[in-house]
Every structure is written in structure tokens, then in C-alpha cells.
Amino acid sequence: MGRLLVQRFSLALVVLALVSLIVFVMVELLPGDAATAYLGRNATPEGLARVRVTLGLDRPAPERFLTWTGGLLRGDLGISLARQEPINGFLWMRLRNSLLLGIIAALVGFPLAIGLGIVAGLTRDRLPDLLLSTISLIGMSLPEFVTATLLIYFFSIKLRLFPAVTLVNPDAPLSELLPNIVLPTLTLIIVLTAYILRVVRTSIIEVIRSDYIRTARSKGLASLWVILRHALPNALLPTLTIAALTIAWLIGGLFVIESVFNYPGIGTLLLTAIHDRDLPLVQSIAVVMALIYVVANLGADLLTLMLNPRLRSPRTVG
């Protein structure tokens, strides 16, 4: 177990370093820079040169990259080129807003998907399975912005129950933010549930057809006990890995959903940073997202090891 943890943490550090480097290179290749975005139409050669010196853009790219990574190791994300203020001061508030969406969607979506997936798997090719499978396919097929637009049409325009867009400030208290998260969270839940439901359904069907389930039933054990005690734990193991990958989708899907609802989260902040060529902010957001993804995968691996002791053998781990 200890060796596995060291391997995973080492891999996480490599992933974070590569993400930072790749993002740096990609932003450097974009036309223009933060000075051009900062001055806009008022840009002149003299003004651009002066602003580039002020923002530190006159230094070589490798030097700027090493300076930023050195600050990152100290917990300092640097200064936003466009805002000219410490990134630590506003990034975490945006992350709070996005995590609020993701956590609520996960707390509702995962149990819902597991329950519906079990029902679909146990009623294979019957009416409940056909209905749930059809609904999940529709949820998986529709892009996030289409689902979000449909929810806005029905719940905001027709029924006038929830606001269509978020108009509160990013640092607003949760009491003001909560009424605005219903539709974005519901969008995430719909797509998340559709994906996980299909995985659980497939796992349940495969486990039920296995030999040890047939043996348990031949011994006269109650069907409900066989499902809960033997089938369900083994069927959920593959779901843990998919759940971790779904968290990565949640992070990526937030960009689209936050843009549709004008939600003040980390997704809209990243889009603004890319538009402003704000390299330190883009890098900071990319590293934070990569860190969340790595932690989610590490958590899924550890939970899988806890539920499946056979994977903890030295031969399996090594």
C-alpha cells in the first residue's frame, strides 16, 4: 500500500508539471499577449513596450516559467497580468463556487445513478430497463449546452421558477448564490446520471451472470441477499474508476455550463483569462484542475483497494 501511494503521488507531481508546461507553451503560441489585451484599441508601439516591461513580459519565456513554478512551490500563484492583483485573492472564491456545483451534483447524481442502474440491470430487457436506458442515452447524447438551454426554456421562461442567468458577484455569500445554482446543478446531474447509470447497469448484468452468483442462488440464499451481499459490491468496483473519470468531465463540463448560465465559477474565469492572455492565471487554473483530477483518481484507486483486498497483494501492486 505504501509503495502504491508513493508511485501515485510521484505520478501526480509529474502530471502537474507537464500540465503547467503544456499550458505555458500553448498560451505562448497564441497571437498577441496580455499587454495587447490590456491596452486594446489604444495600443501603440510605445505603450505596448512600456506595459510589457511593467508586466514582466519583456523577460524570456523560460525565465517567466521558472519564476512562476518557483512561486507555485511556495503556495504563491503569482500576479494576474490583466487584473494586476494576487491570484490567490480571487481564484479560491471562484473555485468555491464551482465546487459547490460539482459537489451537489455528485452527492445527488451518484446515488441516483447507482440506484437506477441497479434497477435497469435487474430488469434487463423489460419495461423499466428500456425506459431508463432510453432516457440515459438521450442524456448522454445531448451536449451540455443543449440540456442547459432546454432547462432555461422550461424552468425560467415558461415556469419562471429559477433565474436563467446568475447576476450575483463571485464573492457573494452562499445565501445569495444558492438560488442561482439550481439549473446549473440540474444540468450536471442529468448528464452525470446518464453516464454512471449505463456503467452500473452493465456491471450488474455481468456480475449476475457470473458463476459465484449462480452458486449462491443454488444454495437457496434469498435473491435480495445475493444481490446486496455478493453482486452489488463487485458490480460497483468498476464504477469507482468511472466515477473518478466523471469528475474530470464535471470539471470540463463546468466551462460550458458556467458560460451558459453566466455562473461566476472557475470555468468562466478561465475563459476570461484566455481572452486576456493572462498566462499566470491560466496556468494556475490548469494546475488546480489537474490537481483535482489527480486527487479524484487517487481516491478512486485507494477505495478500490479497500473494497478488493486481492489487489493489495505485492505482485498486483508492483
Are 277 and 231 a contacting pair, CB within 8 Å? no
230-285 pLDDT per residue, tens: 667 777 777 777 776 676 667 666 778 888 898 998 888 988 888 877 878 888 88
Write out the H or E segment, with its range, that includes residue 246.
helix 232-261
- Please tell me whether residue 287 adopts helix, strand or coil conformation: helix
CB atoms within 10 A of CB 224: 8
Residue with cell 503556495: 75
Three cell numbers written together for 277: 492572455
Domain map (residue ranges) of the chain: 88-275
Tens of pLDDT, residue by residue, the chain (318 residues): 667 667 777 887 888 788 878 877 887 777 766 677 667 676 778 877 887 787 777 788 888 888 878 887 888 888 887 787 888 888 988 988 988 888 888 889 888 998 898 889 888 889 999 999 999 999 888 888 899 999 999 999 999 888 888 888 888 888 888 888 999 999 989 988 988 898 888 888 888 777 666 676 666 655 666 676 666 777 777 777 777 667 666 766 677 888 889 899 888 898 888 887 787 888 888 888 888 877 777 777 777 666 665 655 555 444
91-106 pLDDT per residue, tens: 988 988 988 888 888 8
Distance between CA atoms of residues 42 and 22, nearest Å? 31
| CATH superfamily, region 88-275 | MetI-like (1.10.3720.10)
